[in-house]
Amino acid sequence: MEFKILASNNLKECLSLLKEGCKPFAGGTDLMVQLERGVLKPQTFVNLLNIPEFHGIQVVERKINPAEANSESYLRIGSATTYSQLIQFLQADAKLRQAFAPLMEASFQVGTLAIQNRGTVGGNIMNASPAADFPPALLLFDVWVELTSFDENHSTCSRIVHYPEFHVDYRKTLAKNHEVLTALWIRMDSGLRTNEKWYYEKVGTRAAQAISKVCFAARMGHGEISPRLVMASVAPITKILNHTQKLIKMHRENGEIGYSRISEVELRNALVEDISPKTDIRSTAEYRFEVAFRLVKHFLSIY
């Protein structure tokens, strides 16, 4: 058997091919590298780039969160949106650019211009590498992922999953076989407030393009807004640093103004609970932990 790729320009046909066992192929910036390295078994792909439902960025009023009574404003980002398209969209609107600045920064850092022009936000999520650059930025906001498939009655059906729950283990997501990611839904209200500070730093061997040794995204504001700290490449999945967040919140509730009040020991102990970096071809576990610690410390110092 050989590698093949099939064309498709409508959703139903695409879903039908996926149900028959074809694998989705979007920007291809990771799949083609896997192919080159010989780690993929010969299989048939279906090209997602000509399906209209996977494209476009719009603001949509919708009821998504089952816990909410009313519909809300969401930013719907088609899964085949490239990083360049997302950058262009955000650059064109000052309010959105300010509210979702970390998404723009992540898009620039994901790779070189040539990669930004082909790589898709859906691909980064579904490829589910623990080193993926977009998820840490995404997890700063309230994000839902829309999965679509063909059911037994040959009807198109979609379901929505809350993104923080989507990644379950190393390269494993809650997506079922034959399901394809159609769009991301970001609640507009979860954007950065004007007094919030944010941080996105990817540590790697080459500024323009690298698989990260550590990638860290964070946001923090005043009042009731909880700090959100997220890290990639330090666990089998992208990690929300729950213990570290709790520590920061606790110090804030004690009325402490500067985060220099958090001792190094306290911070290291919280981080140990949150991350489990490994040694691999890119870095040692000890180096990753030290970089992770310094990134969080740097973020706290600039707040």
Partner 1 sequence: MIEFQLNGQKVKVEPEKGMTRLLDVIRKTPKKDKENEFFTGTKEGCGEGECGACSVLVNGVLVNSCLIPVLQMDGQDVKSVEGIVPDLFEDTLRDSVERIEAQGIVNSFLKKGGAQCGICTPGMVVATAALLDKKKKLKETTLSRDEIRQALAGNLCRCTGYQKIIDSVKECFDEYLVNAHRVVEKRVD
Draw the binding track, 190-209, toward partner 1 (x: CB under 8 A; -: no contact): -----------------xxx
Contacts for 12-20: CB closer than 8 Å, 24+ residues apart = 12/150, 12/156, 14/46, 14/48, 14/51, 14/180, 15/148, 15/149, 15/150, 15/156, 15/178, 15/180, 16/150, 16/154, 17/46, 18/46, 18/149, 18/150, 18/178, 18/179, 18/180, 19/149, 19/150, 19/178
Residue 3 within binding range of partner 1, rule CB under 8 A: yes
Please report how close the Cβ of residue 78 comes to partner 1 at its closest, in angstroms: 16
Evaluated on CA atoms 89, 95, 96, 97, the torsion sign reads positive
Residue in 12, 91, 93, 114 binding partner 1, rule: CB under 8 A: 114
278 close to 271: Cβ distance less than 8 angstroms: no
Restricted to residues 24-63, the positions that interact with partner 1 (CB under 8 A) are 25, 28-29, 32-33, 36, 45, 47, 49
Task: Kindly give the pairing relationship between strand 72-78 and strand 180-187.
Answer: antiparallel
Residue 122 within binding range of partner 1, rule CB under 8 A: no
Residue 7 within binding range of partner 1, rule CB under 8 A: yes
> Of 37 and 222, which CB lies nearer to partner 1 in the complex structure?
37
Restricted to residues 221-280, the positions that interact with partner 1 (CB under 8 A) are none
185: CB partners within 8 A, 6+ apart: 60, 62, 64, 74, 75, 76, 77, 143, 144, 145, 146, 160
Residue 95 within binding range of partner 1, rule CB under 8 A: no
Residue in 19, 23, 118, 297 binding partner 1, rule: CB under 8 A: 118
Residue 4 within binding range of partner 1, rule CB under 8 A: yes
Residue range at the interface with partner 1 (CB under 8 A); choices 4-12, 162-170, 223-231, 274-282: 4-12
Residue in 112, 158, 205, 276 binding partner 1, rule: CB under 8 A: 112
Task: Kindly give the pairing relationship between strand 57-62 and strand 143-150.
Answer: unpaired
178 Rama sector, left if φ>0, alpha if ψ -120 to 50, beta otherwise: left
> Of 7 and 272, which CB lies nearer to partner 1 in the complex structure?
7
132 Rama sector, left if φ>0, alpha if ψ -120 to 50, beta otherwise: beta
> Of 8 and 173, which CB lies nearer to partner 1 in the complex structure?
8
DSSP 49: T
Restricted to residues 64-93, the positions that interact with partner 1 (CB under 8 A) are 84
> Of 1 and 265, which CB lies nearer to partner 1 in the complex structure?
1
Draw the binding track, 127-166, toward partner 1 (x: CB under 8 A; -: no contact): ----------------------------------------
State the residues that interact with partner 1 by CB under 8 A. 2-7, 25, 28-29, 32-33, 36, 45, 47, 49, 84, 111-115, 117-118, 207-209
